[in-house]
Every structure is written in C-alpha cells, then in structure tokens.
Amino acid sequence: MSWKQIATPILAIIAFLALWEFIVWVNGWPTYVMAAPSDLPAAYERYWKLFFVMGWQTLWRTVAGLLIAVVFGTMLGMLMGFSKLARDALYPLLVGFNAIPKATLVPVLALLFIGQHDFNTVLMAFLISFFPIAVSVGIGLSTLEPEYRDILGALGASKFTIFRKIALPKTLPEFFGALKVSVTLAFIGTNLVEIISPHGKGLGALFQSGATNGDYPLMFAVLIALAFLGIVLYYAVVALERIFAGWAEREAH
C-alpha cells in the first residue's frame, strides 16, 4: 500500500467530519437536536471503559454469527450449486426469507429463547447474513464452465476432487464478494437485537442508554464507534481475500 492509498480515505473522512461540523454550526443546532463531531471526544472520554466492554460484546457476537453464516451459507450454496432440484426448491424460500425485515423477527426470537441474549443476538447476526453467501456460492458452483469439470473429469477424477481442486478455489472470489456484504449485515443484525430487545449488552445498549438520558453526544459517539467497528470488520475480510483469493485481483491499468 502506498502513502496515497492510506491518505486518500483519511482525507475523505476528515472532509466528511468537517462538513458535518459545518452544517451543525451554520444551523446553530444545540446538542439535543444534533451533535457535532466536536462534541464527541467528551463522550468518549467519559465512557471509554463502556465503549471497550460493550464494543467487544457487539464484536464477538457479530463474528460468531458471521462464522455460522459462513459454514451454513457455504453448505447451502453447495447444495444449490450441485443439485438443480435443491436450487428450484430452495430459491423462492430463501428469497422470501431474505425479504422479511429482520427487525420483525427480534421479538419472535426473544420469546422463543427467553433470556438467552447472547444466543439470540448471534442467531440474528447469522440469520441476516447467510443469504448472500449461499447465493453466491450456489451461483459460482452452478455456473462452472463444463470445460473446467472436463479437464479433470476426463481423467476419471472423482466429484470431490473436482470440487476441491477446481470448483472451490474458482468460487472463492465470489465467496469473498458476498462475505463483504454479509459482514456488514451481521453487524446490523447484532445491533438490531441490542436496540430492539434491550438486555444491557453491546453498543446497542449504550446507544439506548444515551437515548433514555437524552445524551445526544453519547448516541452519536456510539454511531461513530459502530461505523469504526464495521470498517475494521470489512477490512479484515479484505485482508483474508488478499490472502486466499489474491490471484483474482488484476493490476489496474
């Protein structure tokens, strides 16, 4: 990575914060209408311990949900990629499930698994994020050109060998593309539960307590912290992609 690649996004973020500050200043909004970036350091200073504890709670539950989504989504995608029957049967079901606003499921889960907040939260992160993975793996496998199968198939290689040596690595770029979408979705899932079904854990709970106390700077500070965690998770996926599917990246011309 060059200097320019690091400096460009940082400058963009600074420009964004400056614009935010400017709009609040021009309109003369007090903090109980809209907080400005300059109000946030005070909130971080005051609650920094809570930010760490609750940020960690949000983070681990998101990652746990995402890991389950990766395993389940990949298996579902394989099923749909290899079997046309499974594809025909499952697609409408999956699309329908994906279309349901997940916020509506929070109370359902909360009732089903009363009091098991960690479990509920991880489950929601998983439910909201497995769909892109399943679809992309499914499409990646079902659209494998027959020649790719034939170069090993003509030698009598087993289906599993063809999958391991060809289909799996060839699908990796699509998989990581989907994972980039899923990682943000899982994050949203975690926060949905934390905010809609308050149980005092995670950054969502911190946001709620800010709302209850009319502490606007705290609420905005939480939003920024969430954005920061989202960026960290996203780039963790990008790093993994570089390692495992770096071959798919082409030099920019």
Partner 1 sequence: MSPAPFFSTGRCMTPLIDIRGVSHAYQTKSGPLPVLDGLDLQVPQGAFCAVVGPSGCGKSTLTRLVAGLMKPDLGEVFLHGEKVTSPRKTVGMAFQNPVMLEWRSILENVMLPLEIVAPRMRRAEMVARAEHLLAMVGLAGFEAKRPSELSGGMRQRASLCRAIVHKPEVLIMDEPFGALDNFTREDLWQIMRDLRAAEPFTAVLITHDLRESVFLGDQVIVLSGRPARAQYVLDVDLPDDRSIDVLYEPKATNMLHVLRDQIRVAQGRDAGGH
Q: How far, in Å, CA of 249 to CA of 241, rounded? A: 10
Do residues 142 and 80 touch, judged by C-beta distance below 8 A?
yes
In the chain, the N- to C-terminal Cα span, in Å, equals 17
Q: Which residues bind partner 1 (CB under 8 A)?
A: 145, 147-148, 150-157, 161, 165-166, 169-170, 172, 245, 247-248, 250
Largest CA distance in the chain: 74
Give the nearer residue to partner 1 in terms of CB position, either 49 or 250: 250
CB 168 to partner 1: min, Å: 10
- Selection from 88, 47, 67, 82 nearest residue 215 by Cα: 47
CB 240 to partner 1: min, Å: 15
Q: How far, in Å, CA of 48 to CA of 43, rounded? A: 8
CB 172 to partner 1: min, Å: 8
CB 80 to partner 1: min, Å: 23
Q: How far, in Å, CA of 142 to CA of 87, rounded? A: 9
Give the nearer residue to partner 1 in terms of CB position, either 169 or 230: 169
Give the nearer residue to partner 1 in terms of CB position, either 108 or 240: 240
- The burial class, CB within 10 Å (0-12 / 13-18 / 19+), for 106 is buried
Q: What are 31's two structure tokens?
A: 């903090």
Give the nearer residue to partner 1 in terms of CB position, either 26 or 155: 155
Q: What are 148's two structure tokens?
A: 């790719």
CB 91 to partner 1: min, Å: 21
Do residues 194 and 204 touch, judged by C-beta distance below 8 A?
yes
CB 199 to partner 1: min, Å: 44
Q: How far, in Å, CA of 177 to CA of 188, rounded? A: 18
Give the nearer residue to partner 1 in terms of CB position, either 169 or 198: 169
Give the nearer residue to partner 1 in terms of CB position, either 149 or 199: 149
Q: How far, in Å, CA of 90 to CA of 86, rounded? A: 6
- The burial class, CB within 10 Å (0-12 / 13-18 / 19+), for 152 is middle
CB 166 to partner 1: min, Å: 7
Q: How far, in Å, CA of 56 to CA of 87, rounded? A: 38
Give the nearer residue to partner 1 in terms of CB position, either 103 or 152: 152
